[in-house]
Structure 1
């Protein structure tokens, strides 16, 4: 779980917070590495313990803008939530698709060589927090705005992202349009107030290729439940998811390293007892 002052952000897989590795801070940016699991759904969460100022949160996955929502300040909106979880994107007024980790497909097609640089955003989940000035809040049924989707990716075998993961939207399923708090506001600053960045790779990649995993700083055990003031976000886009023997030996080696890493961890974060409460916040910058 990443933290800057009263702001926290973390990624959950199957409801469990993933470990974070090699945390770095520079200016308004906080970054880390996390292990991804192919075929697993996940959610991006953040929590504000004070809510002293209203904030707009923009979520980018693999360079694609997937979600924007608002966290209102406690002084003017005391009954609003302190936390938000985003696990899917709406694809229409009546459907949505979950965020899912998936393997990146690799090809030797040289036509893909020109697109190697275009893959630089693959493997990055970025949450930007912007300070805003709220002008008006109204209640209405959410309107869907068509946005770019996350689909299967193919990269050239020379790409550094070959053998890694990316994010796809999962199967579409029914979900009626929710009633939301639509917020009209303007950004105060020319750049984000804070940025949380999660660089994700398969765990074996972190351990073997970059030896990042042994630098683990924090782990959450047990995983916290969702707080009373935590909401599941409903906005989308705009302002409103070798040989057999050798393989066995390698797996055993990795598992042994993981056990050693976990045994050495001293820093654990305690969070309050959380329960889910679903609310909606979106923004309309007009």
Structure 2
């Protein structure tokens, strides 16, 4: 778990937080980076925590340079993102994919091989329409430096998208950029071993960690909406938190971007 400026972040795969190697902190930029092992074909999720900043925050996740919305936090609590929305009630999960194309240094951008979480301090300023659905890139559309890239799994059901989200403005003049940035450079274990980033002892210790059973995602909500049923009889799971309401802003722990 990386921790800086009252925030923490980590990557989960195989139901376990991935180990972090060679953690580096840039105090001036508010940036923390590390290396993590990736395993092709495995899903992963991005998690973060506000330890009690008492300031509203929004976040953005960059996957090999492709940016997806994160979540809002309201001065404390946990949040996570497991996929990118593909429809009103569907998403495609994040996975580590194997890249089979030929790559060169000219084809690789500086964000290749990285999962980046940017957290910004904001003030809520009314509401706006929900974000449009994104065009999801193919796993093989970006060259990699190590044979792995971020891919997107088969479409699966998720909670229904709220019709609106928060309009935001900077918390103060110093909050126009990211307050804290977490950078996870993912590579196959063999690559990390060959570069001396991890040792054989690290690999042995990692393989000895017992696998936990997957648990249902818990969404901390003070006042959650009630599930609704379409005319077809299909039960629609509500968003983790209600839509913004200009007449009465409901008190919630977190609100999803999408």
Of residues 55, 58, 61, the one that matches 1:59 is 61
In structure 2, relative to structure 1, the CA distance for the partners of 1:206 and 1:72 (3 Å cut) is same
What is the distance in 2 between the residues matched to 1:175 and 1:15?
Answer: 19
Counterpart for residue 134 of structure 1: 124
In structure 2, relative to structure 1, the CA distance for the partners of 1:52 and 1:101 (3 Å cut) is same
Counterpart for residue 213 of structure 1: 198
Counterpart for residue 219 of structure 2: 277
Between structures 1 and 2, the one with greater helix share: 1
What is the distance in 1 between the residues matched to 2:141 and 2:219?
Answer: 38
Matched ranges for 1:40-119 at <5 A: 40-73=42-75, 82-107=77-102, 116-119=106-109
Q: 1:14, CA displacement in angstroms?
A: 2.5
SS, match of residue 207 in structure 1: helix
Matched ranges for 1:104-253 at <5 A: 104-107=99-102, 116-136=106-126, 143=130, 145-153=132-140, 161=145, 163-179=146-162, 182-187=165-170, 188=172, 189-208=175-194, 210-214=195-199
What is the distance in 2 between the residues matched to 1:43 and 1:260?
Answer: 22
In structure 2, relative to structure 1, the CA distance for the partners of 1:3 and 1:173 (3 Å cut) is same
What is the distance in 2 between the residues matched to 1:179 and 1:155?
Answer: 31
CA contact (8 A) 1:116 1:155 kept: no
In structure 2, relative to structure 1, the CA distance for the partners of 1:54 and 1:97 (3 Å cut) is same
Q: 1:177, CA displacement in angstroms?
A: 1.5
Deviation string, structure 1 residues 246-270 (Cα, Å, up to 9, x no partner): xxxxxxxx4x56337999xxxxxxx
Counterpart for residue 6 of structure 2: 6
Using the size of structure 2 for normalisation, the TM-score is 0.72
In structure 2, relative to structure 1, the CA distance for the partners of 1:211 and 1:180 (3 Å cut) is farther
What is the distance in 1 between the residues matched to 2:167 and 2:47?
Answer: 23
Deviation string, structure 1 residues 48-102 (Cα, Å, up to 9, x no partner): 121411111111110001123211236xxxxxxx010101111111221000101
In structure 2, relative to structure 1, the CA distance for the partners of 1:195 and 1:155 (3 Å cut) is closer
Gaps of 5+ in 1: 75-81, 215-253, 264-274
SS, match of residue 84 in structure 1: strand
CA contact (8 A) 1:105 1:154 kept: no
Higher relative contact order (CA 8 A, sep 6+): 1
Counterpart for residue 21 of structure 2: 21
Using the size of structure 1 for normalisation, the TM-score is 0.66
In structure 2, relative to structure 1, the CA distance for the partners of 1:155 and 1:282 (3 Å cut) is closer
CA contact (8 A) 1:59 1:128 kept: yes
Deviation string, structure 1 residues 86-124 (Cα, Å, up to 9, x no partner): 0111111122100010111223xxxx76x8244432210
Counterpart for residue 224 of structure 1: none
Counterpart for residue 259 of structure 1: 204
